[in-house]
């Protein structure tokens, strides 16, 4: 067992906690937006940090430390600098800056953790009972983490650990974000003889087993770039997070993706670059395709009439992956698609708005680092953008069933 592994084991002892808060209240939200309407909202969206150019010397294959690979594959720096001037150039891990952006995250959204350091060899975060390795790009290590749609609103803590180029644990920092309630709408689904299979535990288990296994494979580099386009042109007929009440009972389920209308046979395209991770069929979701975009980010497409891709093949943004269908437990031709991060489905809406997709290349003000030296006056490193909440309110003007 390596030292890093020991460190990570130690991190396990630090509990990741969520303070219970008032349950989210549901309120009516408009649930039928055209793609143009969605994309038009981006002008009012949250501001984002400026994007830097891709740093030189990117070593994507070096980004995911494993117990076996980390010490052996990490090249040690020169044991002794050749001269005093070179000694000045050896980066110090003390200068590592850790950023958590944003620090207020809506239920069903995602956030970025970045470690900026030329001296860091690997980083990991203990979050929600699991460990997640960071992707390396230049002098940045980063990961994107999901907040579950029904996560408890309130503070949520996690521990970030950084190892140097020799795999020695050198930095550990606890961070806390605030989970904001999303106020999901509730939809009543009448269960009758024709759709009773929706609640069949065997049907549910088969579908879950396929997806959870595929979405655990981790490509240790980022394949996507920028925001995600919508995979088809049709109207959005159901958004993420809608709480499902079967026959008026307390909601036990929620909508894990976005539905878009479309005619049978209409094209479905990849919203961003990736690798086809799976094609197949489940009883519940019908024919489907899963794309691995790297760094734990996946997109999935369901109820297809057919697919045009094979597992393992690279797929480019805009390339056809299949056609809209009505397979599985579906009441008519439509596309159900999802963005899944480390196995947790998140709201696709921010990812299809250019201003809101988490940007691993963003340049952050060093003063906003969570481990920046504290000044005497109280700092508020990342002011939550009030327009973000206002924006979600603007979509809350009509009731849907």
Stretch that binds Zn ion, among 36-44, 148-156, 281-289, 334-342 (CB under 5 A): 334-342
Residue 122 or 341: the one with the smaller Cβ distance to Zn ion is: 341
Residue 87 or 264: the one with the smaller Cβ distance to Zn ion is: 264
How big is the site for Zn ion, counted in residues (CB under 5 A)? 2
Decide if residue 359 touches Zn ion (CB under 5 A): no
Decide if residue 285 touches Zn ion (CB under 5 A): no
Kindly tell me which residue out of 287, 336, 342, 353 binds Zn ion, with binding defined by CB under 5 A: 336
Query: Nearest approach, Cβ of 258 to Zn ion (angstroms)?
Result: 7
Residue 252 or 389: the one with the smaller Cβ distance to Zn ion is: 252
Decide if residue 211 touches Zn ion (CB under 5 A): no
Query: Nearest approach, Cβ of 350 to Zn ion (angstroms)?
Result: 18
Residue 284 or 336: the one with the smaller Cβ distance to Zn ion is: 336
Decide if residue 222 touches Zn ion (CB under 5 A): no
- Max Cα distance, the chain (Å): 80
Is residue 283 within 8 A of residue 206, CB to CB? The reply is yes
Query: Nearest approach, Cβ of 241 to Zn ion (angstroms)?
Result: 11
Query: Nearest approach, Cβ of 238 to Zn ion (angstroms)?
Result: 6
Decide if residue 273 touches Zn ion (CB under 5 A): no
Residue 165 or 336: the one with the smaller Cβ distance to Zn ion is: 336
212 CB-side CA count, 13 A: 6
Residue 139 or 253: the one with the smaller Cβ distance to Zn ion is: 253
Q: Can you read off the two tokens belonging to residue 42?
A: 């981006």
Is residue 93 within 8 A of residue 141, CB to CB? The reply is no
Decide if residue 207 touches Zn ion (CB under 5 A): no
Please choose, from the candidates 372, 365, 359, 348, the residue with its C-alpha nearest in 3D space to the C-alpha of residue 144: 359
Residue 116 or 259: the one with the smaller Cβ distance to Zn ion is: 259
Decide if residue 338 touches Zn ion (CB under 5 A): no
Query: Nearest approach, Cβ of 303 to Zn ion (angstroms)?
Result: 8
Residue 165 or 334: the one with the smaller Cβ distance to Zn ion is: 334
* Binding to Zn ion, residues 243-272 (CB under 5 A): 259
Decide if residue 323 touches Zn ion (CB under 5 A): no
**Nearest residue to Zn ion, scored by beta-carbon proximity:** 336
Stretch that binds Zn ion, among 8-16, 162-170, 332-340, 371-379 (CB under 5 A): 332-340
Query: Nearest approach, Cβ of 335 to Zn ion (angstroms)?
Result: 8
Q: What letters, b where the CB count within 10 A reaches 16 and e where it falls short, cover 181-213?
A: bbbbbbbebeeeeeeeebeeeebbeebeebbee
Residue 5 or 185: the one with the smaller Cβ distance to Zn ion is: 185
Query: Nearest approach, Cβ of 334 to Zn ion (angstroms)?
Result: 7
Question: Which residues here bind Zn ion, judged by CB under 5 A?
Answer: 259, 336
């Amino acid at each position: 067992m390596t030292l890093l592994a020991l460190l990570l084991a130690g991190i396990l002892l630090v509990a990741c906690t969520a303070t219970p808060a008032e349950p989210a209240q549901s309120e009516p939200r408009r649930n039928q937006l055209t793609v143009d309407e969605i994309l038009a909202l981006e002008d009012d969206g949250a501001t984002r940090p400026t994007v830097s150019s891709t740093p030189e010397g990117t070593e994507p294959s070096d980004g995911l430390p494993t117990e076996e690979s980390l010490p052996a594959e990490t090249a040690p720096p020169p044991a002794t600098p050749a001269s005093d001037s070179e000694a000045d150039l050896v980066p110090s891990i003390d200068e590592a800056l850790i950023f958590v952006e944003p620090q207020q995250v809506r239920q069903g959204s995602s956030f970025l953790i970045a470690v900026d350091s030329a001296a860091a060899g690997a980083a990991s975060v203990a979050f929600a009972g699991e460990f997640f390795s960071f992707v390396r790009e230049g002098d940045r290590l980063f990961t994107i983490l999901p907040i579950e749609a029904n996560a408890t609103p309130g503070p949520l803590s996690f521990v970030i650990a950084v190892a140097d180029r020799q795999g020695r644990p050198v930095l550990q920092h606890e961070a806390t974000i605030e989970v904001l309630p999303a106020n999901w709408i509730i939809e009543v689904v009448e269960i009758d003889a024709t759709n009773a299979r929706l609640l069949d535990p065997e049907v549910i288990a088969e579908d879950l087993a396929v997806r959870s296994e595929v979405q655990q494979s981790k490509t240790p580099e980022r394949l996507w770039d920028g925001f995600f386009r919508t995979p088809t042109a049709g109207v959005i007929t159901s958004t993420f997070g809608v709480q499902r009440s079967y026959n008026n009972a307390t909601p036990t389920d929620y909508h894990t993706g976005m539905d878009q209308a479309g005619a049978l046979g209409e094209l479905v395209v990849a919203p961003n670059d990736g690798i086809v991770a799976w094609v197949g069929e489940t009883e519940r979701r019908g024919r489907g395709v899963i794309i691995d975009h790297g760094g734990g980010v996946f997109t999935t497409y369901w109820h297809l009439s057919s697919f045009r891709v094979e597992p393992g093949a690279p797929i480019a943004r805009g390339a056809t992956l299949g056609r809209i269908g009505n397979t599985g437990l579906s009441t008519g031709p439509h596309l159900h698609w999802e963005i899944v991060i480390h196995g947790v489905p998140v709201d696709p809406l921010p990812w299809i708005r250019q201003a809101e997709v988490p940007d691993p290349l963003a340049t952050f003000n060093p003063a906003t680092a969570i481990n920046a030296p504290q000044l005497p006056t109280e700092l508020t490193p990342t002011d939550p953008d009030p327009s973000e909440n206002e924006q979600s309110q603007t979509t809350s003007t009509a009731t849907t069933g």
